[in-house]
Structure 1
Amino acid sequence: MHQFIQRRARLIEHMRSNGGGVAIVPTARELLRNGDVEYAFRHDSNFYYLTGFVEPDAVLVLVVDASRDGRAQSLLFCREKDVEHEIWHGFRHGPEGARDSFGFDAAFPVAELAQRVPSLLAGASAVYGCPGQDGEWDAQLASWLNAVRRQARSGVRAPAAIVDVRQLLGEMRVVKDDSELASMRRAAQISAEAQLRAMRCARPGMTEYQIEAELLYEFRRSGADAPAYPAIVAAGANACVLHHNPGAAVLKAGDLLLIDAGCEYQSYASDITRTFPVTGRYSGAQRTMYELVLAAQMAAIAAVKPGNRFSDPHDAAVRLLAQGMLDTGLLDRNKVGAVDDVVGNGDYRRFFMCRTTHWLGLDVHDAGDYGEATASVADRPSRLLRPGMTLTVEPGLYIRPAPDVPEQYWHIGIRIEDDVLVAGGACEVLSHGVPKTIAEIEAVMTR
């Protein structure tokens, strides 16, 4: 648990250098699905990043008093031990167990939160929280602050500033430590095996939801916590819907099948996409478009290195895709001009309408700013890549029927996505375990 203690220490040091204060970071709420049945609980990512604690009804409070040599306390509020409740719902650490197991200075029953927090806020210069994330929490914090303000005539000072702690934690989370990378490598490995399983079992007559079942089976069989996000399993024309939900659509001979699926392992996400032919062989038109997307992805991956900007992989992919759109007739050069015009005017967005990359970590679209911290927010450059950053690389083509589009390309949807770690030299592709060249995929499927 040392990594969680170290992360809390980093946040405390930032608070100390900025005049101290109180940070309040709750975990997620348990939510009813229907009747008296809850949705499967998943802890808040920022709370987990700082604590490693996965039980519901828990709140982390960090108290940093800059007026007394920066003395700091790390406090947890959690559910009490309850033998009767544990018979029905499982083990609880309780405050004492949580304090000892997770390295807090002190821990209290969560029922005491409202009683204790106002006294912790009294005299603090700032409160660090998550404003706007949860209306009930916003109201609760406001009531605590008002309780402190009512003591003003007694010389008690309420915090003068509310700081969004998510900005600070996003900067911490954007560079992964060794323990995080170990979890992400395993998540990518499991997801790669699931993609391979889908390739090996896919055949005409199956449905999208049957392929989804194979993915979910491999995730859980291999020890994953859960899917990192709802899987996308899209056959034929459905692949042109970027976030298609698996349904009863039947896989047909001649179709491409696009699978965007990743598991979560020890709370860390993977995110992999492959597009392959249901019958094991790409047609001529499919092969042309697949090779174009693959070339764009390889160019983007080559741009993932320290000192390059976050936008460089996207720019590399877009330029290759734009040239390919002109070469194959998806775009009429007599109407849109040369490749520089296509890129500059954004004409490529007709067939590639999204970004190529996003951060990856505790969330599949992970925390962290994409731009440099500059005075001019409207015109700030994309941020520089550093070792330890993890991102996806996922160019694609989504070709819907239109009179000016060659008919052989209609309904072709292709995306190729890998999870990539910025390393000291060449980047590391965490999801290397699943094939993506045409020769590799056809060999797997025909074997």
Structure 2
Amino acid sequence: MATILAGTPETRTPAGAPDDPRARRRERFLERMGRGVAVLCSAPELIKSRDTEVLYRQDSDFFYLTGFSEPGVAVLTPHDGRHRFTLFVRPRDPERETWNGPRAGVEGATERFGADAAYPLAELDARLKALLEPADAIWYALGSNEKMDRRLVSWIREWRLRRARSGKGPSDVMDPAGILDAMRVVKEPEEIGAIRRACELSAQAHVRAMRAARPGIGEWELANVIDSTFRAAGPDAGPAYPTIVGSGANATILHYVLNAERADDGALVLIDAGAEWGMYCGDITRTFPANGRFTAPQRRVYDAVLRAEEQAIAMVRPGVTIAAIHEATRLLLARELVEMGVLQGDPETIAEGEEIKRFYMHQTSHWLGLDVHDAGDYRARGGDWLPLAAGMVFTIEPGLYIPAAADDVPAEYRGIGVRIEDDVLVTEDGCEVLTRGVPVAPEEIEALVGADAG
């Protein structure tokens, strides 16, 4: 019962076409490998229960370089022109395809995905060793595939014993993330187009959920509005991660995914949900009153978070670091908490210490792309924070979470959780907010909430 998710429309680009983004990526990767050879394993097929399988989702690095959405192994060998890009795949099988759907097969791997050579997965053991032996190093993510780990360790042990006489066999294992993370953090035009679509779809779903909201609605009902909007957009679409709908004090739980309670009259509802479209992700959080009207304390907390988000967005431009944005956000929120009487003391001291983490415990940003928390370093190996550059995409998501049991803070703020999250694309001179298809202004939110509730 396995189902293979469709890839992006770029997956359907004819092999060898001049605008094939995967071919360009492979060449860039190959150039940086030197005399190495790369082995990339697809995501495993997972069992949900008995003979029911989890919906298949390809490994992001594997997809980034191949566009291939089925189980398999990719091998990149710059020293072997005939096997520069090799795919080991499941062969065509009419009986299995009757149950599980069509496969690309060996022919499709070359004709549709641009492989120089393709073989059935059953031939992996017989062919892989010969592809690896001429290389100086193997680029492979140890720990990503237990069976491949054992296979490579066994061969490396054998090569080590024979190298003095044969002069053959890789001597190093290198993590492909050392190359791929830097490639993936700056998005190409095709990727930006897919992320833009994921963000548009994410915004549409949030708007629909706000319009459907009313006092007493189940968190699960709002989650269904979100998820059904994603899935109705087509075979390339779905949730990028489990949708979070937290009402009342549940909004103070960062990754609350139970979605099991009803939104009381007067409660805030926090929805953190993003669409995946063609394997690329959106990520939006909005917080709104279930009855369409913020109370004065709710509005005070909401405005504080909104000011922090607006300040952070205004800072985004090439050369700035995510760390600088986070530090400025912590300071602004510390000042707001002191003004509300939630914390006492010097805001700068609070922002630099641990005290603020009680109410703002997460980072302000993370990379966004093929993964919701996408690949890419935030610091250089020397420890310096990396400057932003045009083409990077990341989130801005300040929040304040005041536990219901916080009896040392003013009572009117207890149990209030607010997060506002948008996705931004760094441009040459600033940034573009990709997710403002859903409003953040409190007055606009109040006008939208419950519009379809009847």
Same fold (TM over 0.5): yes
What are the residue-to-residue correspondences of 1:108-127 with 2, within 5 Å? Answer: 108-127=119-138
Within a 5 Å distance, the mapping from 1:83-232 to structure 2 comes to 83-149=94-160, 151-152=162-163, 155-223=166-234, 224-232=236-244
Partner of 1:283: 295
Alignment of 1:399-410 (within 5 A): 399-400=402-403, 401-410=405-414
Matching residue's letter, 2:39: I
| Contact 1:392/1:420 (<8 A) preserved | yes
Deviates more, 1:410-419 or 1:106-115: 106-115
Q: Matched residue of 1:219: which SS?
A: helix
**Which residue type is aligned with residue 61 of structure 1?**
V
Corresponding residue to 2:92 among 81, 95, 106: 81
The one-letter amino acid of 2:69's match is V
Name the SS for the 1:85 alignment partner: helix
Query: Which residue of 2 is the match for residue 241 of structure 1?
Result: 253
- The aligned length equals 431
| CA distance in structure 2 between the partners assigned to 1:163 and 1:30 by the alignment | 25
Q: Hey, what's the Cα distance between the residues in 1 that align with 2:448 and 2:179?
A: 45
Q: Report the alpha carbon displacement of residue 93 of structure 1 after superposing the two structures with TM.
A: 1.3
The separation in 2 between residues aligned to 1:443 and 1:207, in whole angstroms, is: 21
- Provide the rounded CA distance (Å) in 1 between the counterparts of 2:129 and 2:83: 17
Q: In 2, Cα distance between the equivalents of 1:446 and 1:104?
A: 52
Write out per-residue CA displacement over residues 189-238 of structure 1, whole angstroms, 9 at most, x where no aligned residue: 01101000110001112111111111111001122532111111001000
1:308-347 to 2 correspondences below 5 Å: 308-333=320-345, 338-347=346-355
Q: Which residue of 2 aligns with 1:302?
A: 314
Contact 2:288/2:449 (CA < 8 Å) preserved in 1?
no
Contact 1:121 1:145 in 2 (8 A): no
Pairing partner for 2:27 from 9, 22, 33: 9
Q: 2:398 aligned with 1:395, yes or no?
A: yes
Letter in 1 for 2:44: R
**Partner SS state of residue 80, structure 1:** coil
Residue 355 (1) aligns with residue 369 (2): no
Question: Please, which of 365, 373, 376 is the counterpart of residue 368 of structure 1?
Answer: 376
Distance in 2, matches of 1:342 and 1:146, equals: 54
The RMSD of aligned alpha carbons is: 1.6
Structure 2 distance, partners of 1:218, 1:256, is 22
Separation of aligned partners in 2, 1:103 and 1:434: 39
1:377 equivalent in structure 2: none
Matches of 1:248 and 1:37, distance apart in 2: 25
1:147 Cα deviation after fit: 4.7
1:43-82 to structure 2, matched below 5 A, reads: 43-56=58-71, 58-65=72-79, 73-82=84-93
- Judge conservation of contact 2:237–2:275 (CA < 8 Å) in 1: yes
Alpha carbons of 1:81 and 1:432: their partners in 2 closer, same or farther (altered >3 Å)?
same
* Correspondence for 2:44: 29
Kept in 1, the 8 Å contact 2:367–2:394? The answer is: yes
Decide whether the 8 Å contact of 1:235 with 1:255 is kept in 2.
Answer: yes
Which whole-Å CA distance do the structure 1 matches of 2:191 and 2:117 have between them?
A: 26
Contact 1:387/1:422 (8 A) holds in 2: yes
C-alpha contact 1:123 1:156 (8 A) present in aligned 2: no
2-structure distance, mates of 1:402, 1:441: 28
Shift of 1:409: 0.1
Alignment partner of 2:54 out of 39, 44, 48: 39
CA distance in 2 between counterparts of 1:128 and 1:344 reads: 40
- Whether contact under 8 Å (2:82, 2:117) holds in the other structure is no
Question: Structure 1 residues 136-145 or 39-48, which shifts more?
Answer: 136-145
- Measured after TM superposition, the shift of residue 146 of structure 1 is 3.6
Contact 1:236 / 1:256 at 8 angstroms: preserved in 2? yes
Give the aligned partner of residue 385 of structure 1. 388
Report the CA distance between 1:346 and its aligned residue.
3.0
> Given residue 343 of structure 1, which amino acid in structure 2 is its aligned partner?
A
- Residues 215 and 264 in structure 2, CA contact (< 8 A), matched pair in contact too: yes
Residue identity opposite 1:237 in structure 2: A
Name 1:257's counterpart in structure 2.
269
Range with greater deviation from structure 2 (134-143 or 207-216): 134-143
State how far apart, in whole Å, the 1-side matches of 2:280 and 2:240 are: 8
- State the Cα distance separating 1:103 from its structure 2 match: 1.3
Shift of 1:131: 0.9
CA separation in 2, counterparts of 1:324 and 1:36? 53
Q: Give the distance between the partners of 1:259 and 1:358, measured in 2 at CA.
A: 18
Q: Deviations over 1:373-424 (max 9, x none)?
A: 32xxxxx121100000010110000001323200000000000000111111
SS of residue matched to 1:391: strand
AA aligned opposite 2:344: D
Asked if structure 1 preserves the Cα contact closer than 8 Å seen for 2:83 and 2:117, the reply is no
Q: Render the CA deviation track for 1:156-209: whole Å, top value 9, x for unaligned.
A: 522111000122111100000000000000001011010001100011121111
Rounded Cα–Cα distance in structure 1 between residues aligned with 2:371 and 2:328: 25
- Provide the rounded CA distance (Å) in 2 between the counterparts of 1:96 and 1:72: 15
Distance 1:33 1:72 in 2: 36
Within 1, Cα distance between the matches of 2:290 and 2:342? 24
Unaligned runs of 5+ in 1: 375-379
Structure 1, residues 245-303: CA drift from partner, whole Å, max 9, x if none?
13321111000000000011000011100000000010000000000000000111111
Q: Does 1:416 align with 2:420?
A: yes
Residues in 1 aligned to 2:100 and 2:144: alpha-carbon distance in whole angstroms = 28
Distance in 2 (alpha carbons) for counterparts of 1:248 and 1:14: 49
* Structure 1 equivalent of residue 8 of structure 2: none
Over 3 Å counting, the alpha-carbon distance change for 1:153 and 1:291 in structure 2 is: closer
Assess if the C-alpha contact under 8 Å between 1:231 and 1:246 holds in 2.
no
Cα deviations across residues 332-357 of structure 1 (Å, max 9, x unaligned)? 22xxxx12111122321111011000
Q: Secondary structure at the match of 1:311?
A: helix
